[in-house]
Structure 1
Amino acid sequence: MENKYSKKETVVVHKGYDSSQHHGSLSIPLYQTSTFAFDTAEQGERRFAGEESGNIYSRLGNPTVRVLEERIAELENGQSALAFGSGMAAVSAILIHLTKTGDHILCSRGIYGCTFGLLEMMQEKYNITHSFNAMSTEQEMEASIRPETVCIYVETPINPTMEIVDLELVYKVAQKHGLKIIVDNTFSSPYLQNPLDFGADYVLHSATKYINGHGDVVAGLLVGQDAEDMMNLRMTVQKDVGGIMSPFDAWLIIRGMKTLHVRMDRHSENAQKLVTYLQSSSLVKNIFYPFDPSHPQYEIAKKQMKAGGGLISFEIQGGKEMAQYFMNALQLIKIAVSLGDAETLIQHPASMTHSVIPESEREKMGITNSLLRLSSGLEHPDDLIADLKQAFTKVETHFAKTMYKNI
């Protein structure tokens, strides 16, 4: 079908699907099948030999999953995409694809806790080493590159500190040393940021989050610039390791994706309003949000992001005890470790998502016991602010009584 659109808002609704090929069904059909019948034995032989396109087995490709892959590839301005059963399956697949024993991976200073766990396991079992770098200057990056370095792995914004990595800087260094660039774009979504446009080779998402947007799927997506390379990845790592996405999960994500642009605009608007409120609270020490003018990488964020997104991190006075008391005092905002849902969620990274990381390493990453990560949802901002306000009031009252008893 001819591509008759160019805007992301249209791509999320139409890309990769022609209703005339599916009995006129406006909704994309769910091909809930494990295998596909061949017309002849010879056809089966041709398809396995790669001489004829067509469906074989859902671990190798599925029509419903294929629509999702084509849609995310278009949204990220890539050539090809692969769908996985989780975000970590996507992370694992690309790192397995690019590395071998003895190689080194250079990582941004902060990464998701499970990505850290995977890197530690790869180092322990397969001698594939890694190191962390703030990536704030070319000289700083150059100092961490080794002869055995094969790729640069970046989160931006970084989870959960909301630090921004300059993708143009990363590309400059990677080009000089012939290194592949992988960017975890989960926090921005393809609506707000497109790392491939800044020179990345691969971009991945936990599709569990903003891309699905409804908290009912666990999934991952990987987009690449080289279609042949991505096909090789599909027919080796994805096929043989088997971390595929189910057709039903793909169908749910396609449905959720249709409102990605509407949701991301609202997530970003709500986050801005919550940041403004948090700045007025005496219990909040520091706020980390990419589109806050006081953010140290604000200018970089504006250069490579359309908006600040829905994630806010902030440090609360009083450390872990006060942070947990504050979370328990919330009534509307839910304590949960995901993000990108319609509901506003809050979590304590040091004891939850990033607890696998040793405390000394967490501190280097800026993940303190006072840090909270809030994912602004789609509720009315006035109700969210009211919930934060009443929780802060309870915290102040409780700790004032505690201090009085100790006098």
Structure 2
Amino acid sequence: MSDRAFATRAIHSGQQADPVTGAIIPPIYQSSTHVQDGIGGFRGGYEYNRAGNPTRDSLQTQLAALEGGVAALSFASGLAAEDALLRGILRPGDHVLLGNDVYGGTYRLLTTVLAPWGIATTTAELSDLDAVRAALRPETKIVWVETPSNPLLKIVDIAAVAEIAHAAGAAVVVDNTFASPALQQPLSLGADLVVHSTTKYLGGHSDVLGGAVVFGDDRFVEPVTFQQFAVGAVSAPLDAWLTTRGIKTLDVRVRRHSENALAIAEWAVDRPEFGEVYHPGLSSHPGHEIAARQMSGFGGMLSLGLAAGPEAARAFAESTELFQLAESLGGVESLIGYPPEMTHASVRGTALAVPENVVRLSVGIEDVADLIADLEQGLARIASR
């Protein structure tokens, strides 16, 4: 299957028809335990749902195929995946180098949950390779990359950062949630591991919570797998099945997300109400050339800086209709959020604080003319206040 095109792998990897009935969709194995043929005689290797489940295994096969990995693990949430990865690889005294624009939950996990365990975290501008070199320490074990980043859509040269990190003995983890494997495969660019909130583009329909770790290097599989088994934050069978179903349309969905987002970004740059438009598809974006080289499209996310300031940003986020005010992203419907008080409230007052005039758009797959009209009426509404 590895020689097949992406869209084909998304539909067929791990999705063999049921051998008993011929059902083209593999069943949901909604079972907490499995009967043994004698003590230790596991049928198909299955013992207990926390240790393994056929539905989850199908999803994990699919995830590994999408990212070109040697293995994958599916978790109850994106943060559960990140936690298992970090606890599986790191030990007290280790250091993580983190980008200076990342999901607030990742920063919170590292600086409030893992810091008391003895894990040090510093941030740097990872798009500046000299800054990466300067920030590495002898005890750096992980360089954590988001590209495009959340919410300012910064672009990091994965291959260049991987070369620098590996020379220093550090592993590279890429959070590929914003791009999805439909647009970017970090393992092929030198990353060692990929993480996802599968809640977002992989699930794609705002109806399931999940996370994933995909391995490009065998040496990390055992410790992270043990962490998952020992702590137990696995995806439930129904959640795994819903994610698998979503992935089958990932390729076509992400193409539409990307087309719509670029059209909106190009519309927004001509509007005086926006002082900044953050989208890597714009030729004016500082990471545009790198994004064009390492991605096959620019994604469905963009952020806008309201020229009139924070109050205008808050009002705009509350004035749209098709763009519904909510956290999360990557669903077929469009969402708008105010990161300083929503997704990134945990980094307020830190070096990672999001500018308070910024709103974030998750552009859905609706008709783009309707989406632009909705944004225009939102602007008109706040102008009339």
Q: TM-score, normalised by structure 1?
A: 0.92
Higher helix share: 1
Contact 1:123 1:130 in 2 (8 A): no
Deviations 1:7-64 (A, max 9, x none): 11111111112215242011120000011111222525xx8xxxxx511111111101
Which structure would you say has the larger Rg?
1
Aligned to 1:312, the other structure's residue is in SS state: strand
User: Quick one: structure 1 residues 123 and 221, their matched pair in 2 at CA, closer, same or farther if it must change by over 3 Å?
Assistant: closer
Question: What is the deviation of 1:5?
Answer: 5.6
Contact 1:122 1:128 in 2 (8 A): no
Inter-partner Cα distance in structure 1 for 2:40 and 2:207: 41
- Number of the residue aligned with 2:213: 222
| 1:239 and 2:229 are equivalent in the alignment | yes
Inter-partner Cα distance in structure 1 for 2:313 and 2:133: 38
Contact 1:193 1:304 in 2 (8 A): yes
Inter-partner Cα distance in structure 2 for 1:115 and 1:256: 24
Inter-partner Cα distance in structure 2 for 1:225 and 1:294: 33
Equivalent of 1:380 in 367, 373, 380 = 367
User: Quick one: structure 1 residues 330 and 36, their matched pair in 2 at CA, closer, same or farther if it must change by over 3 Å?
Assistant: same
Identity of aligned residues (%): 38
Contact 2:84 2:228 in 1 (8 A): yes
Deviations 1:60-95 (A, max 9, x none): 111011111000101100000000000000111111
Contact 1:22 1:29 in 2 (8 A): no
Question: What is the deviation of 1:337?
Answer: 1.0
Contact 2:127 2:154 in 1 (8 A): no
Instruction: Name whichever of 150-159 and 388-397 sits farther off.
Output: 388-397
| 1:394 and 2:384 are equivalent in the alignment | no
Equivalent of 2:29 in 21, 28, 31 = 31
- Number of the residue aligned with 2:355: 368
Aligned to 2:346, the other structure's residue is in SS state: coil
Question: What is the deviation of 1:280?
Answer: 2.2
| 1:102 and 2:97 are equivalent in the alignment | no
Deviations 1:302-342 (A, max 9, x none): 11111011001110122221111112221221001110111
- Number of the residue aligned with 1:343: 333
Inter-partner Cα distance in structure 2 for 1:4 and 1:348: 40
Inter-partner Cα distance in structure 2 for 1:379 and 1:124: 42
Q: TM-score, normalised by structure 2?
A: 0.97
Aligned to 1:314, the other structure's residue is in SS state: strand
| 1:293 and 2:291 are equivalent in the alignment | no
Equivalent of 1:40 in 38, 43, 46 = 38
Question: What is the deviation of 1:233?
Answer: 2.1
Report 1:5-404 matches (<5 A). 6-19=4-17, 21-44=19-42, 54-227=45-218, 229-234=220-225, 236-363=226-353, 367-398=354-385
User: Quick one: structure 1 residues 331 and 294, their matched pair in 2 at CA, closer, same or farther if it must change by over 3 Å?
Assistant: same
Contact 2:110 2:121 in 1 (8 A): yes
Aligned to 2:305, the other structure's residue is in SS state: strand
Inter-partner Cα distance in structure 2 for 1:136 and 1:227: 28
Count, aligned residues: 385
Deviations 1:202-229 (A, max 9, x none): 0010000000000011100110023463
Inter-partner Cα distance in structure 1 for 2:72 and 2:352: 32
Inter-partner Cα distance in structure 1 for 2:26 and 2:362: 30
User: Quick one: structure 1 residues 360 and 17, their matched pair in 2 at CA, closer, same or farther if it must change by over 3 Å?
Assistant: closer
Inter-partner Cα distance in structure 2 for 1:28 and 1:123: 38
Aligned to 2:384, the other structure's residue is in SS state: helix
Structure 2 unpaired stretches of 5+: none
Inter-partner Cα distance in structure 2 for 1:13 and 1:237: 29
Inter-partner Cα distance in structure 2 for 1:42 and 1:28: 26
Amino acid of the structure 2 residue aligned with 1:358: R
Contact 2:193 2:217 in 1 (8 A): no
Question: What is the deviation of 1:137?
Answer: 3.6
Inter-partner Cα distance in structure 1 for 2:258 and 2:97: 30
Amino acid of the structure 1 residue aligned with 2:80: A
Structure 1 unpaired stretches of 5+: 48-52, 399-407
Amino acid of the structure 2 residue aligned with 1:30: I
Contact 1:108 1:134 in 2 (8 A): yes
Inter-partner Cα distance in structure 2 for 1:397 and 1:269: 31
Inter-partner Cα distance in structure 2 for 1:42 and 1:345: 49
Aligned to 1:54, the other structure's residue is in SS state: coil
Question: What is the deviation of 1:360?
Answer: 4.0
Question: What is the deviation of 1:122?
Answer: 4.0
Aligned to 1:342, the other structure's residue is in SS state: coil
Amino acid of the structure 1 residue aligned with 2:282: D
Inter-partner Cα distance in structure 1 for 2:31 and 2:350: 48
